[in-house]
Amino acid sequence: MNFLTVMLLAFAMSTDAFAVAVCKGVSLNVPKLKDAFKVGLIFGLIEGITPMLGWLCGFLTLHFTEKWDHWIIFLLMLFLGSHMIYNSFLEDDETQEDKNTKKQSLFLLVLTAISTSIDAFAVGIGLALATVNIVFASCMIGAATCLMVTLGILLGKKIGSWIGKRAEFLGGLVLIVIGSITLYQHISA
């Protein structure tokens, strides 16, 4: 994977966290940069760690999957991308909640970050099969998520949930394209 592909992957992986952050930002009166950045850091750290864990699992099983690695990458990216696209059409129950119940504990925040990073674990498995520098890719995914969550919270009031769902749709589309390119490169070689 080249630098551009890793960057596209990083931002695609951050779109679900961005959508959640926009929804959180909608409920805040005036979000502070410091608070938004703290939330962004939590999401970014978790989103950066999970691909490494997935990569470790993928690396440990690499010798079993070498003949089908390109198909596994393609199917993982297709599944995750399709799932993100599907989720982009669902209604967000969180926007219906009372604004006074929005103050979350650290535990709930971490739990939300973990739930948005499960797809990064699966991508990490695919990255082990694609022989990519996992430390670099994970750092890029974590940094992109930190940036996108921070921006999502800060801009939530202004842009509403309208853009959040569309970002998740675009992220899913990017994952499908990356998986398709990987499959094409292996089949044509």
Q: How confident is the model at residue 168 (pLDDT cuts 50, 70, 90)?
A: confident
How high is the pLDDT of residue 49?
A: 97
Q: Is the pLDDT assigned to residue 94 strictly greater than 60?
A: no
List the structure tokens of 110: 């971490």
Residue 52 CA, distance from chain mean position: 14
Angle at 162 between CA 46 and CA 39, to 5 degrees: 25
Q: How far is CA 132 from the centre of its chain?
A: 18
Overall average pLDDT of the 139-154 stretch: 95
Measured CA to CA, the distance from residue 54 to residue 127 in angstroms comes to 8
Residue 51: the pLDDT is 95
Sign of the Cα pseudo-torsion (119, 124, 127, 133, in order) = positive
Instruction: Tell me what pLDDT residue 75 has.
Output: 85
CA distances (Å), origin 107, targets 48, 77, 102, 144: 18, 29, 14, 22
Instruction: For residue range 52-82, list pLDDT tens digits in order.
Output: 999 999 888 877 776 777 787 788 778 877 8
Summarize the confidence of residues 47-51 as an average pLDDT: 95
What's the whole-number mean pLDDT along residues 153-160?
82
Q: What angle do CA 183, 116, 16 make, to 5 degrees?
A: 70
Task: Please tell me whether residue 150 adopts helix, strand or coil conformation.
Answer: helix
Looking at the chain, the whole-number percentage of residues with pLDDT higher than 90 is 29
Give all domains of the chain, ordered by start, each with its CATH number: 3-90+106-188 (1.20.1250)
d(CA 50, CA 46): 6
pLDDT grade, residue 162 (50/70/90)? Answer: low
pLDDT-based confidence at residue 109 (cuts at 50, 70, 90): confident
pLDDT computed for residue 174 by the predictor: 79
Cβ-Cβ contacts under 8 Å for 27 (sequence gap 6 or more): 95, 97, 99, 102, 156
- Res 126: pLDDT: 85
Contact 11, 144 (CB under 8 A): yes
Dihedral sign for Cα 102, 141, 8, 40, please. positive
With 0.85 as the threshold, say if the pTM is over it. Answer: no
- Which phi and psi angles does 187 have, rounded to 5°? -70, -40
Most confident by average pLDDT, 20-24, 34-38, 114-118, 164-168 = 34-38
